[in-house]
Amino acid sequence: MPGMNSALHPDDWSVTVPPAAAASAALHGALLESRQRWQDLAGLGADLVFETDNAGRFTFLWPETVLGHRAAGLLGRRADSLLLGAGPSPFDLRQAVRNHRAWVADAAGRPRCLSLSLVPLGDVRGGFIGLRGAAHDVTQQEAAAAAAAAGLRRAAMLDALAETVRLTGTAREAVDSGLAGLRETLGCAGTAMIVPAEAGPEVAAATADLPPGLLAAGGPALATGQDWLGPLADGSPAALLHHHGRLPACSLLAAWREPGNRAWDTEDLAVLRSMAAMLGATLGFGRMQQELERQANTDPLTGLANRRAFLDALEARLASRPAEGGALVFLDLDNLKPLNDRHGHEAGDAALRATARLLRDGAGPDDIAGRFGGDEFTLWIAGADAAAASARAAALL
């Protein structure tokens, strides 16, 4: 048929497609392929892409689910309604930007950090008609960077505090310096070290008076070996952190802030726990030194100063108060050996302890009592003349 450009041949079922239709189909296929290519590339290069109008409302979003939201449900909604916190909105920008950080809320209300790249859109007259943008979810990277930065800050703080402790002289000076530095570093109202004692927990060192209730909380904390966190009755954020040493080295680091101040965060607690171990070990070392010195200077049976400690104390007293004078009384027990032989050493030990108790009860606040060895005892009576010394000695018999 003249003028027709397609025909159906009787010997097959093939169709001759007109050139215009073939071109249209090819163009449609190319467009579909281009669109798919664009979507694939956009998906590889960004977690989401979008466009807004000149009022900042979403007009296009991809993929179908964005931060847990259905993309269709966000169309027409202002983009800045997703932002968290105050400050300028990146969706108000009129110039191209890359890698702009913004915190937004996902569908569950959780904070997510987006790295935005934006370019403004204009009409033929150059007027602003919206934004086109791509975003990467960099929440995990931000969290990792924040954790690394916090770790560096914490390490720097602990290094500075450790240096403060190291440069001091005695263990007590080291603890005092460490507590003062910790108070300044964390903005505390006060810091202290609490140790167990026969009558209950007691303060071994402190930078300020403990708030009501904190020392009482130390008893259960020491008994259970558990750290304690929480506000006190007046609202003060407080913490008790353990150093799990053996007596006399166990202790608690106490820290507190003024009522209404912020509670302890993860970094605060990390610093407190590290300092609890450092200061607890230092304090425990000092207390063990004191205990060893006490044992070295004390007669274990009577609790009086031994010979060396008595002579050292008397020498120091005479050097510090040369004009005071005094009287030195020597006492011994008669028949101690027959008592031991007849009734056993327990009876002899009881006699020695009774004598020590008489000396201790009869000694004045400035006197020095000691066991010189065996059945011999000494008593320095400060400021006494011969008559006073005789009277005091007679009172002991």
What CATH number does residue 188 fall under? 3.30.450.40
pLDDT of residue 55: 95
Residue 78 lies in a domain: yes
Which residue type is seen at 83?
Answer: L
pLDDT of residue 44: 59
pLDDT of residue 75: 95
Within the chain, what is the greatest distance between any pair of CA atoms? 158
Neighbouring residues of 110: CB distance < 8 A, sequence distance ≥ 6: none
Residues 265 and 358 in one domain: no
Q: What gap in Å lies between CA 370 and CA 389, rounded to an integer? A: 16
pLDDT of residue 4: 46
User: Which of 104, 137, 170 is at the close of a domain?
Assistant: 137
Q: Write b or e for each residue in 193-228: b if 16 or more Cβ atoms lie within 10 A of its Cβ, otherwise e.
A: bbbbeeeebebbbbbeebbeebbebbeebbeeeebb
Residue ranges, the chain, pLDDT below 70: 1-22, 25-26, 28-30, 32-45, 245-249
Residues 156 and 56 in one domain: no
Integer angstrom CA distances of residue 257 from 193, 237, 267, 350, 364: 16, 5, 15, 53, 44
Residues 239 and 321 in one domain: no
Q: Write b or e for each residue in 312-342: b if 16 or more Cβ atoms lie within 10 A of its Cβ, otherwise e.
A: ebbeebeeeeeeeebbebebebeebeebeee
Q: Which of 279, 307, 304, 308 is nearest to 367 (CA)?
A: 304
Residue 300 lies in a domain: no
Residues 347 and 315 in one domain: yes
Residue 5 lies in a domain: no
Residues 129 and 155 in one domain: no
Tally Cβ neighbours within 10 Å of residue 137. Answer: 18
Q: Are 251 and 197 in contact (CB under 8 A)?
A: no
- Number of domains comprising the chain: 3
Residues 164 and 197 in one domain: yes
pLDDT of residue 1: 44
Residue with tokens 């050139």: 19
Residue 381 lies in a domain: yes
User: Which of 292, 321, 355 is at the close of a domain?
Assistant: 292
Domain containing residue 178: 150-292
Residues 155 and 287 in one domain: yes
Residues 189 and 257 in one domain: yes
Residue 16 lies in a domain: no
pLDDT of residue 397: 74
Residue 124 is given by DSSP the state T
Residues 176 and 74 in one domain: no
Q: How many CA atoms lie within 13 A of 373 on its CB side?
A: 4
